[in-house]
Structure 1
Amino acid sequence: MSTHERTAPPREEGVRAAASRDGHGAGTVAPAEVSDRFGGHLAGSPFAAAPRRATLRSTLRLFRSEVGLIFRRPRTVAMLVVVAVVPVLCGIAIRVFGGDGEALLTQVAGNGLALAFVAFSFMVPLILPLVVAVVAGDAIAGEAGLGTLRYLLTAPAGRTRLLGVKFAGMAVFALVTCLVIMVAGLVTGLVLFPVGPVTLLSGTTVPLAEGLLRIGLIALYVTLGMIALGTLALAVSVFTDTSIGAIVTTVVLVLVSQILTLIPQLDAVSPYLLPSWFQRFDGALREPLATGEMGQGVLAFAAYIAIFGSVAWARFTSRDVTS
């Protein structure tokens, strides 16, 4: 399925139809049609219908439009189905074949809540980064490739605000994806295995409610890590007009970083590589909580978001989108 696939809502059809009229975005676009996506606000034009106080409302409308576009695409639905099915398949495999001597898998057979943790362990190294990279890599490059980016920028949302909306849409997708994994793992574990007090990796047993809170903490930690990765993909996206290029570049960077973390001679470099912090969510299943280690991971994610968010902003605000 093409990474440029779009399912545009009615209010964007005029923009996208105009952009594809000659295959290069050389068509004309009705200002009123562009204005509609931005809440009817076209500053300095005869179509201006709202005062400056409508800026927030138009931004929220643009954000809703962006989120709607993301979750209406068939490929997005397909990816969410995949991430929901993986925990189910893991649960069925453990139920049928047992834990095969692995302590963590054996723990799932004794308490279904551990399946959510196992699902994250399986998906964080590659599947989750790939899923997030598809959405983030397509955010700007997809619009540029379709020729619609220049038309979106004719409205007074501004490049900074448009980039912020793209970032927010990616962040929402990352959160929803992690919640889908968590819920699928919990429901499957509840159906297939007994559920009760949770035995942590450190051997301590905590009440069921606390176990659920710790799994929720894991989901939030992984979400932040995926947002950091998505910011990296977004930065790559603003440098190309081909979304597949941004997606492949991001995935290759993740794979290379993971390989580098496995080389003992490069241990000094490992803390600066994003994937080296992905798996630190296991600190939530220790007693006491590994707040120091997880806190360092959060700081690393925040640093990646700040650095590559700045790179994306610097490039996008100076980019020539007229050619």
Structure 2
Amino acid sequence: MTAVLERAEVPVVRGYRFEMVKLVSQWRIRLLVLACWLAPALFVAAVSQQSDLPTDTLFGRWMNISGWAGPLVLLGFAGTYALPLLTSVVAGDVFAAEDRLGTWRHLLVAMRSYRRIFVSKALASLTVILLLVIGLAVSGAVGGLVAVGSQPLVALDGQLLPPGEAAGLVALAWICVLAPTLALAGIGLLGSVVFGRSPMGLLLPAVVALGMGVAQLLPLPVAVRLALPSYAFIAWTGLFTTPAQLGPLLIGVAVSLVWAVAATSLAYIVFMRRDFTNLSNDGVGRRALTVAAAPLVGLLVVTMGVLAVASPSTGSGIDQNKVQQSVATAFGRLYRLQTQQLHRPDVTEEQLASTVACTKGDGLVEADGPGNDWRCVVSWHLPGTTIAGQAIYQLDIASDGQYVADGDGPKEVNGYFQVHTPNGDQPNPLWQFDGHLELLSKG
């Protein structure tokens, strides 16, 4: 039968157009496109105008200060929830739909090539996924800019990014998460081929993303964390430090692309071996463990081994020196921002000479690893004074290196969420701030 199908193959372009028409004619795909291009703008614009901001979300505390904070808040949400669900709906159903409708024979007669059917479906699903991701990014940015404007953005190390630089980094961050999205799309294609009309194919990308997301919350070694393709959904935060933390980001993107190629290749192999003459055969569900899962588990193990040998850190990647350096840098830069708000004489970071002493668990445990029991005392000097200023911060450091520093006094410095300025009350940049530790670097 394969020999007959190969005699007069339909060009891939025609097959691609045909698959695109089938996808965009589905009401759920149209609804997703509409939602991705409209809902983020409305959400970001509405939240940016509220006095109660999502301060527990990365960049959430700056949403009414800079229009570029909104698309980053949206990116954090999308990487955890939206993008896995979108890939499930699109890629996880592109092959299974033919099994449910019983249209494989009609498609084979029309296309006359197994290979071109697979390529057409894969390209069509990829196009729709890219359209949805671009919609999320553009809509979120438009909502933030319309509601707040193109103002400077405070980075994760306290650096004030000019609007142009902030815009470029926001765009680059969204581009970087395309890699793990493609990995989930490849898993979706594999699940759609392997499980046929079973709902497991549709749910597979979301289930895999949920499992990897839970794993990222655990105190895993750095090599294991970076070996998961989901790390690229987090690693974009390294773009918003100076210097940029490019090592983990590049590794995360590379791992995700390898997973995308591996999962798609497995889907292609399974699809080409399928017996379409047997109407009762809608997949290889019982052989899924050996056909699909085993190669991907093997890839994960090999990647962990390579990263364990190549990376300078095999532990948590979080230590006392890293925390102290990060907090000192962020505090010095945010102190200057507060100085500008209060119209005080400007000081340089070198003049402040900020130093930080951090302990964990009230000094009863080793100052290492994630936890919400970090305590840091910041000391600094102002020009012309001999007495050092001091401020206290309580830190909650996550396993991925992301942390929140919560000011604990004195009130005039970091003990209250607003500062009284000549232009009225404004958010106090020293009250709470987010930071990010590079897990691969040495403290």
Coarse TM-score class (shorter-chain normalised)? 0.7 to 0.9
Answer yes or no: is 1:106 the counterpart of 2:61. yes
Which residue pairs with 1:20 in the alignment?
Answer: none
Instruction: Give the aligned length.
Output: 272
Q: 2:12 touches 2:119 (CA, 8 Å); kept in 1?
A: no
3-state DSSP of counterpart to 1:99: coil
Q: 1:125 touches 1:275 (CA, 8 Å); kept in 2?
A: no
Answer yes or no: is 1:314 the counterpart of 2:273. no
3-state DSSP of counterpart to 2:49: helix
Separation (CA, whole Å) in 2 of partners of 1:233 and 1:183? 25
The Cα shift of 1:267 comes to 5.7
Residue ranges of structure 1 left out of the alignment (5+ in a row): 1-41
3-state DSSP of counterpart to 1:112: coil
Structure number with higher helix proportion: 1
Q: Which amino acid aligns with 1:253?
A: V
Q: Alpha carbons of 1:159 and 1:313: their partners in 2 closer, same or farther (altered >3 Å)?
A: same
The Cα shift of 1:274 comes to 2.5
Answer yes or no: is 1:66 the counterpart of 2:19. yes
Q: Alpha carbons of 1:106 and 1:161: their partners in 2 closer, same or farther (altered >3 Å)?
A: same
Answer yes or no: is 1:96 the counterpart of 2:65. no
Answer yes or no: is 1:222 the counterpart of 2:192. no
Which residue pairs with 2:211 in the alignment?
Answer: 256
TM-score by length of structure 2 reads 0.57
Separation (CA, whole Å) in 2 of partners of 1:285 and 1:238? 39
Return the match for 2:188 from 233, 238, 250: 233
Which residue pairs with 1:246 in the alignment?
Answer: 201
Higher mean displacement: 194-203 or 65-74: 194-203
Deviations 1:149-192 (A, max 9, x none): 23222345522222122221222122111111111111111221
Q: 2:59 touches 2:72 (CA, 8 Å); kept in 1?
A: no
Q: Which amino acid aligns with 1:258?
A: G
The Cα shift of 1:234 comes to 0.4
Structure number with higher strand proportion: 2
The Cα shift of 1:130 comes to 0.6
The Cα shift of 1:217 comes to 1.3
Q: 2:15 touches 2:111 (CA, 8 Å); kept in 1?
A: no
Residue ranges of structure 2 left out of the alignment (5+ in a row): 280-443
The Cα shift of 1:193 comes to 0.9
Q: Alpha carbons of 1:289 and 1:65: their partners in 2 closer, same or farther (altered >3 Å)?
A: farther
Separation (CA, whole Å) in 1 of partners of 2:117 and 2:182? 17
Which residue pairs with 2:35 in the alignment?
Answer: 82
Separation (CA, whole Å) in 2 of partners of 1:233 and 1:171? 11
The Cα shift of 1:87 comes to 4.7
Which residue pairs with 1:210 in the alignment?
Answer: 165
Which residue pairs with 1:194 in the alignment?
Answer: 149
Structure with the larger RCO, 1 or 2 (CA within 8 Å, 6+ apart): 1
Q: Alpha carbons of 1:268 and 1:224: their partners in 2 closer, same or farther (altered >3 Å)?
A: closer
Separation (CA, whole Å) in 1 of partners of 2:209 and 2:173? 20
Separation (CA, whole Å) in 1 of partners of 2:233 and 2:112? 34
Which residue pairs with 2:118 in the alignment?
Answer: 163
Runs of 4+ in 1 over 6 A off after TM superposition: none
Q: Alpha carbons of 1:71 and 1:287: their partners in 2 closer, same or farther (altered >3 Å)?
A: farther
